Structure 1
């Protein structure tokens, strides 16, 4: 009886962790966000497909976003070190700005990340969550088309 209960619970947990994938086996942004919220500790591993609608580059990190507003709850953010951008541009054959409105496939783990609001460099106690896929190698990114 205990074995039967354990097997039933394992099947339920496996069913809960199933992430919808499109016909190519890729995970769409909204499904990545949902899965990352369901397992905030581990996130979800897979191939994520997104159309880059916005991007921002700073001295230390660069972001590619699936929504125009990075604070949108449906947004999936690809985060990478800015030092990696030249290698990514070379691999894809297009400059960073040329990625806008292009469809990408990104291999990695989508995880929920807490973003704190700051005032004078200090957290205010207010925050929201984003879903990030950390990219550390240009080989994690390719065109979907």
Structure 2
């Protein structure tokens, strides 16, 4: 009888230590992540976000999965995928991100940061106008899960 009790106790302890993937209950909305990143600025904050990809963009080799159709929208969270991990992330989605990611509901685990995006004039000079964008960098395809 004592062996059975010990076995059950050890089993319960090991179950509590098991690694778990992000669950939907643990995920934050884009609005929550934006608020967390703004509060932590200029530092970043670890989070898991659940969102639907409404737009995909590219700039300087980085691919962005956006929670809003307009990446300038203050409600937008941009998932920034590094060039080094893009091919592996495309394997998760089953194709080129500009086509395969649109409309997908995803969980992303990473570090959210409020980034200043500056406007430039026609001569390429930075103006005094800017907006904030909340970004989560993805450098490992394990950070993204399609739900």
Which range, TM-score by smaller chain? Answer: 0.7 to 0.9
- What secondary structure does 1:24 align onto? helix
Name 1:113's counterpart in structure 2.
Answer: 115
Q: Greater CA radius of gyration, 1 or 2?
A: 2
Q: How many residue pairs align between the two structures?
A: 123
Q: In the aligned structure 2, how far is the partner of 1:33 from the partner of 1:42?
A: 13
What's the TM-score once normalised by structure 2's chain length?
0.77
**CA drift at 1:44:** 2.1
Q: In the aligned structure 1, how far is the partner of 2:108 from the partner of 2:137?
A: 9
TM-superposition CA deviations, 1:20-59 (whole Å, max 9, x none):
xx96210110000011111112232111111000001245
What's the TM-score once normalised by structure 1's chain length?
0.78
- What secondary structure does 1:139 align onto? helix
Q: Is 1:49 aligned with 2:50?
A: yes
Name 1:14's counterpart in structure 2.
Answer: none
Over aligned residue pairs, what C-alpha RMSD do you find?
1.7
Q: In the aligned structure 2, how far is the partner of 1:128 from the partner of 1:62?
A: 19
Q: What are structure 1's unaligned runs of at least 5 residues?
A: 1-21
- What secondary structure does 1:109 align onto? strand
Q: In the aligned structure 2, how far is the partner of 1:76 from the partner of 1:124?
A: 24
**CA drift at 1:82:** 3.1
